[in-house]
Amino acid sequence: MHILRYIDDNLKDKTILITGGAGFIGSNLAFYFQNNHPDAKVVVLDSFRSGEKLSNGNLKSFGHFKNLIGFRGEIISGDINDKDLLLDLEVNYRFDYIFHEAAISDTTAQEQDLMIRTNVNAYKDLLDLAIKHNANMIYASSAATYGNAASPQKVGVEAPQNVYGFSKLCMDNLSREYIKKSNIGIVGLRYFNVYGPREYFKNSTASMVLQFGLQLLSGKNPRLFESSDKILRDFIYIEDVIAANIKAMNPKESGIYNVGTGKARSFQDIVDILQRELETTLSCEYIENPFIGSYQFHTEADIASTKEALGYEPKFEMEDAIKAYVNEIRRVYEQEVK
């Protein structure tokens, strides 16, 4: 994947910490800096995957070494809940920017204690580290903060429906308090439905773009919920997400901002575009939606403030993004699935 260079700032001799750097978005950030700012020092921190699982059967950590093959920066295996590790980072490093992507990111996780401890309390510790280092903080918030709020979703109108969304809203509220009392840049990016290279190791939580693509390549009929042409989400390609992160390094104004396309597209659109790009003609199977009542039927990011404060402008329409992604989907199928 070729990611355009989004900033011209000289990052020579700057040190960048990426937590969750072996995950989907974190690893893409790591390679962005390596490819575009080779004189910057990039430190990746990730807990990496073990056999440890949540009560729902999903892995606690999705970090995977394969996401970092070819990365030449420093890699630290560690947990952001580890106070000794954070003290080591404080004493032995001097960061200029912190990209905080690490989290318990499974929206179906039931462990409320672990979710709050990892997503909220550890984030506060990292904010304190950022202030001590005078480092700008860019962190992953989430559209899950909105729950079933009406579209277009706007910052300030939140109603989280799960503990993950609640934890991200807590992070945003904490950020607002720190913005008032600190001089560093603090930007929370509320990601909508992100898809693109290096998401495969998210397993069942990977995007439906990848999951439908792998179904089609394996010759399976794509399975969609009934009325999938009317279930609309704001799907955003990873390159636009990386662009937003880079723009957030030196924001016009600290704050919480949506990162989406500002356009809602259907799950049926995804399958139709994939079939065209993969040259398949498999019939769709429609199944009853068991999540009615707890399911978002329409998400669409209001990105007006993101454009104003960050100079952010999404570049990828879904058709263009899937076309750019299909070769990687084919590679994943051949090397990881078959």
- Torsion, Cα 146 20 236 159, to 10 degrees, reads 0
Q: Which of 7-11, 126-130, 202-206, 331-335 has the lowest mean pLDDT?
A: 7-11
- Candidates 178, 94, 100; CA nearest to 138 is 100
Distances in whole angstroms, Cα of residue 316 to Cα of each of 16, 130, 145, 310, 328:
27, 32, 24, 17, 17
Distances in whole angstroms, Cα of residue 132 to Cα of each of 17, 136, 179:
14, 11, 14
pLDDT digits (tens, 9 = 90+) for 156-195: 999 999 999 999 999 999 999 999 999 999 999 999 999 9
- Candidates 75, 60, 59; CA nearest to 26 is 75
Helix 122-133 and helix 163-181, axial crossing angle in degrees, nearest 10? 30
Residue 303 has pLDDT above 80, yes or no: yes
Beta-strand ranges (E) seen in the chain are 15-19, 41-46, 74-77, 97-100, 136-142, 186-191, 193-195, 223-225, 232-233, 235-237, 255-259, 265-266, 285-287
Would you list the domain boundaries of the chain?
A: 15-195+236-260+301-314
pLDDT digits (tens, 9 = 90+) for 97-134: 999 999 999 888 999 999 999 999 999 999 999 999 99
Distance CA 294, CA 147 (A): 9
Is CATH 3.40.50.720 correct for 15-195+236-260+301-314? yes
Residue 273 has pLDDT above 50, yes or no: yes
Strands 186-191 and 193-195: unpaired
- Tokens matching residue 28: 């893409």
pLDDT digits (tens, 9 = 90+) for 43-92: 999 999 998 999 988 889 999 999 999 999 999 999 999 999 999 999 99
Specify which residues 43 forms β-bridges with.
17, 74
* % of the chain beyond a pLDDT of 90: 91
Catalytic residues: 164, 202
CB-based burial, 109-126: b 16+ in 10 Å, e otherwise: bebeebbbebbbebbebb
Distance CA 128, CA 131 (A): 5
Phi, psi (deg, nearest 5) at residue 139: -135, 160
What three-state secondary structure class fits 79? Answer: coil
Dihedral sign (CA 23, 25, 26, 27): positive
